[in-house]
Structure 1
């Protein structure tokens, strides 16, 4: 096997980890992954499943063990994981657990252009977000309490809940600043939406953008 590939396709990893248990055909892989809610844990493009399986076979990570056909249905090929596939899945898992990645969210994108709206419009929008977050947090807590799986197989749900709780706390703090007027230069921000003109110093900084070493 050649140089290990970095994790670029989480569906490929999901396929390898599900086929570890027993050989499956792609339709069965998809059914098991959906039943386990893997599309909630990672971004999965179901339409590319067969292409991913073929690529895993091409690279020696899966191998076909049999092909069957029932009546007029399309032929189904059953695949099993290879030793190289097990090693690759383990390496990918180690990378995902050990190495932080910056994965910008839609909320980060919204915050990055928040200045385009005035503070008096942003405040109710953040109130709405916080309300929806709190509803989701309560639903997630209840789901975890009712979950019968061992903790080993639901730690990702615990993590997702913790991240939502952290986001809610941050949004709550930002809202408090906007409501009590302690957000830095909130009056300048408000004035900008009244006059359409940024203060010269702020305009200069905006033109130059962020500077990093």
Structure 2
């Protein structure tokens, strides 16, 4: 298995799930999709199986028997090994301590915001802000419900962080839209039309 499979950001999520309890890859996939829309978009069954295979080859997880549910085929259940636990702790420590510039699709799009023109940029940012505001309100309600149900705050700390990021993005969007409307953010003269092929 190529080393790059161990560099996949989902390795941390898989090791974290197996810290909680042994599982077979299908259970891992279902749990990752349940917990995070980001993981749901980023993972498919084939890539998860490749990651689990790479983790087993690295000695970070080990097969702990088979499990059968109904008429489904037997599935191999994996558990975290001591080396896997050590790797999980190392990765967590490193990723928490070391801020990295993470490139998102939105950041890439914002780099070319000028191509939309002032009206198009205002419209697009306003719509994104409305959608983000709606999602943030829903996420805030879910977080409040979890805390009201006595879920320990540490178990939902990632949801709290995601809300803080979303609120920060909303504040930035509002400020940029205000700057476009007041003229504080200006557009240069229109560039020449691209040449036709």
Match of 1:207 in 2: none
- For structure 2, the residue ranges without an aligned partner over 5 or more in a row are 193-197
Match of 2:182 in 1: 180
Superposition pairs for residues 111-126 of structure 1, below 5 Å? 111-126=110-125
Deviations 1:95-149 (CA, angstroms, capped at 9, x unpaired): 1211111111222111111222221222222222222222222222222211132
TM-score, normalising length from structure 2?
0.81
Match of 1:202 in 2: none
> Contact 2:33 / 2:40 at 8 angstroms: preserved in 1?
no
Match of 2:195 in 1: none
**Structure 1 residues 179 and 105 mapped into 2: Cα distance closer, same or farther (>3 Å)?**
same
Superposition pairs for residues 1-213 of structure 1, below 5 Å? 8-35=7-34, 37-40=35-38, 44-47=42-45, 48-67=47-66, 73-147=72-146, 148=149, 149-183=151-185, 186=186, 189=188, 192-193=189-190, 196-197=191-192
Offset, 1:182: 1.9
> Contact 1:10 / 1:44 at 8 angstroms: preserved in 2?
no
> Contact 2:19 / 2:85 at 8 angstroms: preserved in 1?
yes
Which range moved further: 69-78 or 121-130? 69-78
TM-score, normalising length from structure 1?
0.76
Corresponding residue pairs, total: 186
**Structure 1 residues 137 and 33 mapped into 2: Cα distance closer, same or farther (>3 Å)?**
closer
- For structure 1, the residue ranges without an aligned partner over 5 or more in a row are 198-213
> Contact 1:137 / 1:161 at 8 angstroms: preserved in 2?
yes
Offset, 1:158: 0.9
Match of 1:208 in 2: none
Q: What is the alpha-carbon distance in structure 2 between the residues aligned to residue 71 and residue 96 of structure 1?
A: 40
> Contact 1:61 / 1:86 at 8 angstroms: preserved in 2?
yes
| C-alpha RMSD over aligned residues | 2.7
Deviations 1:157-205 (CA, angstroms, capped at 9, x unpaired): 111111111111111111111111122xx2x52xx23xx45xxxxxxxx
Offset, 1:79: 1.9
- Partner SS for 1:154: helix
> Contact 1:41 / 1:156 at 8 angstroms: preserved in 2?
no
